[in-house]
């Protein structure tokens, strides 16, 4: 049974009012999704370790950091140290996967493995046990507001089967283009955790949008 967690992505919030964006979904959103970009791994720049520290001072809502950066081996543990509840690294960027995941977990955080739409999960089968979450990108990472890639649905279904068959206790997360129209078929494919930027912060009432998305995922 899917658990249907909704993580609003602050990338879609008003950057002049990030604290308000966190607080407006408090009590409704399960966690908050914080995108970290470095102009290298993706052609955009967003958020940093200082954002995590600043958010920690205004809210207790757990922070899910999605690192779209080069050299996550060097930088990821610092996000855990600053209080992120989960730190997700991209498979395409990580060098020493065992050491980096161990360093994140040593700081008391959960850790996630992210793959771009074109990156097969099969390449990482022997490493999945090192993670608490598997993020299948449903857009090419870098920007919010893109269209959900239906072509990723078979990959989601296959990943769901794989996790169940191998008894791997990872949450299956998607990120990109999640909205009222796309969330039902993603839920049917076996997603546990939905990241939603535009669908939450582009709505007149972000808290209500979170509730509506969860209800649709559970239908
Ligand atoms: C993009 C980010 C996403 C982004 C999703 O690379 O990782 O988290 O905020 O935005 P929407 O939900 O608008 O597609
Ligand atoms: Zn993201």
Q: How far is it, in rounded angstroms, from Cα 41 to Cα 49?
A: 17
The ligand 1 atom nearest the CA atom of 44: 6
Closest by Cα among 155, 196, 157 to 175: 196
With vertex at residue 36, the alpha carbon angle to CA 34 and CA 37, rounded to the nearest 5 degrees, is: 145
Residues 6+ apart with CB under 8 A from 22: 10, 32, 55, 58, 59, 61
Per domain, the residue ranges of the chain are 5-217
Q: How far is it, in rounded angstroms, from Cα 11 to Cα 18?
A: 9
Q: How far is it, in rounded angstroms, from Cα 144 to Cα 159?
A: 24
* CA 99 to ligand 2 centroid distance, Å: 23
Q: How far is it, in rounded angstroms, from Cα 86 to Cα 128?
A: 15
Which numbered ligand comes closest to the C-alpha of 180? 1
CATH code, residues 5-217: 3.20.20.70
Give the helix ranges, DSSP H, for 107-205: 153-165, 183-189, 198-201
pLDDT per residue as tens, the chain (219 positions)? 457 999 999 999 999 999 999 999 999 999 999 999 999 999 999 999 999 999 999 999 999 999 999 999 999 999 999 999 999 999 999 999 999 999 999 999 999 999 999 999 999 999 999 999 999 999 999 999 999 999 999 999 999 999 999 999 999 999 999 999 999 999 999 999 999 999 999 999 999 999 999 999 998
Question: Pocket residues for ligand 1 (CB within 6 Å)?
Answer: 9, 11-12, 33, 35, 66, 139, 141-146, 175-178, 195-199
The ligand 1 atom nearest the CA atom of 197: 12
């Amino acid at each position: 049974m899917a658990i249907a967690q909704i993580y609003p992505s602050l990338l879609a919030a008003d950057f002049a009012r990030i604290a308000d964006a966190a607080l407006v979904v408090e009590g409704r959103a399960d966690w908050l999704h914080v995108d970290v970009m470095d102009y290298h791994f993706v052609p955009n720049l967003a958020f940093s370790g200082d954002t995590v520290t600043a958010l920690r001072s205004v809210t207790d809502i757990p922070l899910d950091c999605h690192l779209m950066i080069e050299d996550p081996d060097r930088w990821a543990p610092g996000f855990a140290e600053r209080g992120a509840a989960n730190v997700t690294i991209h498979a395409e960027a990580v060098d020493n996967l065992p050491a980096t995941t161990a360093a994140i977990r040593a700081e008391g955080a959960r850790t996630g493995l992210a793959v771009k739409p074109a990156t097969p999960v099969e390449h990482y089968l022997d490493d999945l046990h090192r993670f608490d979450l598997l993020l299948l990108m449903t857009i090419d990472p870098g920007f919010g507001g893109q269209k959900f890639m239906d072509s990723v649905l078979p990959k989601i279904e296959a990943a769901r089967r794989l996790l169940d068959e191998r008894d791997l206790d990872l949450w299956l997360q998607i990120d990109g283009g999640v909205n009222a129209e796309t969330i039902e078929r993603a839920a049917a494919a076996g997603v546990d955790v939905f990241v939603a930027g535009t669908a939450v912060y582009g709505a007149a009432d972000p808290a209500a949008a979170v509730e509506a998305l969860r209800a649709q995922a559970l239908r």
